[in-house]
A = this chain, B = another copy of it.
Amino acid sequence: MAGSPRRTAGRRLQLPLLCLLLQGATAILFAVFVRYNHETDAALWHWRNHSNADNEFYFRYPSFQDVHTMIFVGFGFLMVFLQRYGFSSVGFTFLLAAFALQWSTLVQGFFHSFHGGHIHVGIESMINADFCAGAVLISFGAILGKTGPAQLLLMALLEVVLFGLNEFVLLSLLGVKDAGGSMTIHTFGAYFGLVLSRVLYRPQLEKSKHRQGSVYHSDLFAMIGTIFLWIFWPSFNSAPTTLGDGQHRTALNTYYSLTASTLSTFALSALVGRDGRLDMVHVQNAALAGGVVVGTSAEMMLTPFGALVAGFLAGTVSTLGYKFFTPILESKLKVQDTCGVHNLHGMPGVLGALLGVLVAGLATHEAYGDGLESVFPLLAKGQRSATSQAMHQLFGLFVTLIFASVGGSLGGLLLRLPFLDSPPDSQCYEDQIYWEVPGEHEDLAQGPLRAEEPETRA
């Protein structure tokens, strides 16, 4: 057993050294490349003599803050459901996302706002960096409890690059629409993480099975994450859309879709539950699928009815996935998906991409009027038919799945480097390897921990 007392000095230095190295590297790259854009630079903004009310800040900052809340509070607490992994769930979310914000500012900046040798930053780059952090945290959900923080930082280092590349191919090269990221964030993040989890497959994981469930209060902490994700998802999908009706409509569609996924989640959870009982795992996760499934189409003329149908299907598929597919995923496909990201982000993400194909294919000049220019600029300019746009959307999904699978495989190989500090099979889902855990003498001593791992307290 490679429990913490026997971790070598080399291993205990991995996390601090990697943090310092990565921070040093991004700081140097920031010094060389990153500059204020014309909305954040004192001289540029005043030279152009805009009205302050026109500053993009006032149109996007409230949405940004909602997204920021989702990334750090939402994702962080959603993963606190594990009884002995709360510090790691919320703490590593914090660390990973903080690094991803810096690193994706650079990567996305190179792809999207590199002019005159510089990356220009402002509220839009902040939103995009948070989105990229979201994809990294989705992947984290698939391998939660089975990797150390240094491994996670390396995963983020790789994933942010591939996220930026995939996003660039879809949005800039293929002209695909995906404001809320059904493809670029959810599908990409989920399958990257699932493939990575496959490569890291642990046949002996049942040694940590007793720690894989929740306790009463850890489920309530997780609901903090769920609810903040749920309420702010309309801001997530609408944060980067065109201003005016686009942002407004996206928020509205997402709002309705989420109400429907909530109803179908409760319905299905009770239907498949023992004695008709509801399952917190479903409520914490599947109820959110309505946000994922309209990520591509919410800015389109989906109609409120369409949003309800989409959300209903997503909640249904997601709940059934937790009940029936996750066990198969582990037993047959050897994918150990801790948070069930396949059910919350994978399937609903693919479904959302396909819904985008459908709604894009149905786009007409009548339905969008002069607003077509904002939603489908290539259609408005006559460079593409609706059918062609739909085909491009479909191809975008295909590209995303390729990037995610190849990326997840590479990530898995990277994380399997033998010198990396990884928890042993008997110590998965356990905070004590990486954290000082208080109160063992009291409320936690009665848990299963004490009997089994006295050596970790030496």
Binding site for B on A (CB under 8 A): 4-5, 7, 11-13, 15-17, 19-20, 22-23, 26-27, 30-31, 34-36, 39-47, 49-50, 52-59, 61-63, 65-66, 68-69, 72-73, 76-77, 80, 83, 86-87, 90-91, 94-95, 98-99, 101-102, 105, 121-123, 126, 149, 213-217, 219-221, 223-224, 227-228, 230-232, 234-235, 243-249, 251-252, 255-256, 258-260, 262-264, 266-268, 270-271, 273-280, 283, 287, 301, 303-305, 308-309, 312, 366-375, 433-439, 442-444, 446-448
Contacts and interface: CB of A to CB of B under 8 A. Distances in A.
Contacts of A31: 305
B251 A214 contact: no
A41 B304 contact: no
Contacts of A264: 19-20, 23
Given A42-B368, A259-B101, A308 B224 contact: no
Contacts of A20: 263-264, 267
Nearest to A23: B263
A455 to B, nearest CB: 12
A47 to B, nearest CB: 5
B443 A259 contact: no
Contact of A12 (B4, B263, B276): B276
Contacts of A309: 27
A81 to B, nearest CB: 9
B42 A270 contact: no
Nearest to A226: B94
Contacts of A122: 248, 252
Given A224-B224, A231-B72, A438-B219, A16 B267 contact: yes
A349 to B, nearest CB: 21
A245 B101 CA distance: 21
A149 B266 CA distance: 10
